[in-house]
Structures are given as C-alpha cells and as structure tokens.
C-alpha cells in the first residue's frame, strides 16, 4: 500500500498514520556528470573516478561512477521528505553493493517494516534502497525515524 500524501499532509505525519507495509513515495533520480562535478565541489570529494572519464576507464569502468555518499544523500532525502518537518531521522544505514553510473534512471524506494512506541516516542523503522534501471538494489539500507504521537499532543 503506497502512501500518497501532499506536502502539507506530510508535514503533519503522525505515528498513528503509519502502518507496517506502507510504502514511501518513490523518488526518481537521473544523474549526469554535471551533477557529479557539482557534488564533488560541494562535498570536497575530488576523487577523479567520479568526474574524469579516463581515470574511470583505467579503473575498468565504462564511465565515471556516482559517489556513494551522494546515493546515501538521496536515500536521506527519501526518508526526510516522507517523515515531514515534525519527524526526526535517528539512524540511516546503507550498504554499497553495486556501482551506479550517470545516465541511468535510479529509484529511491522505502517501506515501513516496524512501528513501536518506546518511552513515549513513536518509532518507525524503514527498509530503504536505491534501485537501478533493471530493478536491482545497488544501495540497500534502513532508517529509523521518530514521529510525533497524538497522545503526546
């Protein structure tokens, strides 16, 4: 079951509105080399394999590769957009399992796998991932967020 809410509804996402099995709205990314160069500058990650075609080919890749940290950032965006401004991202863990390249269509996905209340705090555990154009997960992970509860308000 997909959660499809407007931005204003997401801002007020409450713990009681979430159920195990709910899917987060997907975010589709279509990175190009320009974005990788911009990210390299912003993150100060100037490893040449991310922007220099010759270096990437010398390393055995058909073209430059996407920064792992950029893929993590996209998954962070997926979670924080879904939880809204009243939620808190407590944990974000990812595993880099495959290389992704600019020009591919990449999709950030997520699903609620657990909900619980601990010490009066509504906790939601998410299974997240970045899928490549073939649907394989190149960057699986998990996130833990806290959401406000109606009982606390």
pLDDT in tens, 13-67: 999 999 999 999 999 999 999 999 999 999 999 999 999 999 999 999 999 999 9
**pLDDT interval class at 10 (50, 70, 90):** very low
**pLDDT interval class at 12 (50, 70, 90):** confident
The count of other CB atoms within 10 Å of the CB of residue 151 is 11
For residue 22, what is the DSSP state? Answer: P
Res 5 pLDDT > 60: no
User: Quick check: helix, strand or coil at residue 56?
Assistant: helix
Q: Which residue has the higher pLDDT, 151 or 92?
A: 92
Q: What pLDDT is stored for residue 151 in this prediction?
A: 83
Q: Which residue has the higher pLDDT, 96 or 2?
A: 96
Calpha distance 23→33 (Å, rounded)? 30
Match domain 7-31+66-147 to its CATH number in 3.90.1010.10, 3.40.630.30, 3.10.129.10, 3.40.190.10.
Answer: 3.10.129.10
82 close to 147: Cβ distance less than 8 angstroms: no
Give span(s): CATH 3.10.129.10, the chain.
7-31+66-147
- Give the angle 93-108-124 at the CA atoms, nearest 5°: 50
Average pLDDT over residues 129-153: 92
User: Quick check: helix, strand or coil at residue 45?
Assistant: coil
Predicted TM-score (pTM) of this structure:
0.89
pLDDT in tens, 93-124: 999 999 999 999 999 999 999 999 999 899 99
User: Quick check: helix, strand or coil at residue 43?
Assistant: helix
Q: What pLDDT is stored for residue 4 in this prediction?
A: 59
């Amino acid at each position: 079951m997909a959660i499809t809410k407007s931005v204003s509804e997401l801002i007020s996402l409450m713990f009681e509105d979430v159920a195990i099995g709910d899917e987060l709205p997907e975010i589709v990314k279509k990175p190009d080399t320009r974005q990788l160069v911009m990210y390299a500058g912003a993150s100060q990650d100037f490893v040449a394999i991310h922007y220099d075609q010759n270096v990437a080919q010398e390393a055995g890749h058909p073209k430059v590769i996407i920064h792992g940290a950029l893929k993590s950032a996209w998954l962070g965006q997926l979670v924080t957009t879904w939880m809204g401004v009243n939620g808190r991202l407590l944990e974000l863990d990812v595993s880099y399992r495959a290389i992704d390249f600019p020009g591919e269509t990449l999709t950030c996905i997520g699903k609620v796998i657990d909900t619980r209340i601990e010490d009066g705090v509504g906790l939601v555990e998410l299974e997240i991932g970045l899928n490549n154009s073939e649907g394989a997960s190149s960057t699986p992970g998990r996130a833990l967020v806290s959401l406000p509860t109606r009982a606390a308000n």
